[in-house]
Chain A
Amino acid sequence: GAVVSQHPSRVICKSGTSVKIECRSLDFQATTMFWYRQFPKKSLMLMATSNEGSKATYEQGVEKDKFLINHASLTLSTLTVTSAHPEDSSFYICSARDPGVDSPLHFGNGTRLTVT
């Protein structure tokens, strides 16, 4: 079945540095991918919709310059957390929709980001 691979699964970085998270669709092409953020014991909050070949669409309250999204190919979207601060520490999950199948969204396994 369709699989979404997310890398890295865990990352620790220092304040002020940038971190890139990759989301790949392994056996299907995804024109649209989604990036979520999840705080402990909370639901998933949609951050942005990543569109292949065009700019991402950000949800209200999400800083575009802080969370850079690039969707350069039909199988890869990246989320870069720029100038990370401890409050950016969170669990980030990507998802992608297989357009060839009647709907479901496939999720990556998530990335736990810790900013020290």
Chain B
Amino acid sequence: AQTVTQSQPEMSVQEAETVTLSCTYDTSESNYYLFWYKQPPSRQMILVIRQEAYKQQNATENRFSVNFQKAAKSFSLKISDSQLGDTAMYFCAFILTGTASKLTFGTGTRLQVTL
């Protein structure tokens, strides 16, 4: 079974600063995807960034980037130039390849961006 661990229940960062959210996972499989989802107060799940396990290059999406360490089974999210709109719950998630695979979520990190 796959597990996803987010060890930071809450984090705070000042506007324009950089923050890193941690995520580790455990699996015996080699083909999978990793995701970071954002859930603002509206409760909508928004895909922030994803990483294919077979790719060594870290994914980036504008101000969001990941540090993917496959051997260490680590997948951290870096948010640069933090904005007030980044305030949300952030969930790390894992899914094996295959259309019927289930998405496994971490427990989430509540990020507060302050002035």
Residues of A within 8 A of B (CB): 31-32, 34, 38, 41-44, 46, 49, 51, 91, 93, 95, 97, 99, 102-105, 107, 109-110, 112
Number of A-B contacts (CB under 8 A): 50
Query: Across the interface, do A31 and B43 meet the contact criterion of CB distance under 8 Å?
Result: no
Query: CA A77 – CA B58 in complex, angstroms?
Result: 35
Q: Is the interface of A mostly helix, strand, loop or mixed?
A: strand
Task: Given A43-B91, A43-B108, A44-B91, verify A105-B103 contact (CB < 8 Å).
Answer: yes
Interface residues of B in 56-111 (CB under 8 A from A): 89, 91, 95, 97, 99-100, 102-108, 110
Task: Given A32-B99, A32-B100, A99-B99, verify A43-B44 contact (CB < 8 Å).
Answer: no
Task: Given A42-B107, A43-B91, A44-B91, verify A49-B102 contact (CB < 8 Å).
Answer: yes
